[in-house]
Amino acid sequence: MDLLLDYYRISTIIDDVALNKKNEFSDHDVAIAEFARALSHPARISILRTLGRKNTCICGEIVEVMPLAQSTVSQHLKELKSAGLVLGEVEGTKSCYCIDKKTLEKLSLLMKRLLDEIG
């Protein structure tokens, strides 16, 4: 039990240090990193592409075009929604999703600024 407590204490300290280090970066860099984390899986890119092609909110169609189980697609949608890239609504037994155009525009502006700075 003591070993478990020591592990918990160490991991908590590491998490605190990482959070404090994150605060040392600009809001711009933190925002890009958070979007990058949300986009870091090819399934999420594919989901965004699927939603963008439809240009409307869709429900079960996402699972139909993905080579993944419904539960896996739901996890990816949760990550995209958490980052603000996707909006989701529950309608009865269905969940409908669409791209949040405002957040996508913010991402676009952040990336343009970054590319201008490094290019």
- The verdict on residue 94 lying in a domain is yes
At 34-74, the pLDDT tens digits run: 999 999 999 999 999 999 988 777 877 888 888 999 889 98
At 69-103, the pLDDT tens digits run: 988 998 999 999 999 999 988 777 788 899 999 99
How much is the pTM? 0.76
- The verdict on residue 114 lying in a domain is yes
d(CA 104, CA 83): 10
Identify the band that residue 107 occupies on the pLDDT scale cut at 50, 70 and 90. very high
Print the domain residue range for 62. Answer: 26-118
Place of tokens 């990336």: 111
Helices within 1-119 (DSSP H only): 2-22, 27-38, 42-54, 61-65, 70-82, 101-118
- The verdict on residue 21 lying in a domain is no
More confident call, 16 vs 89: 89
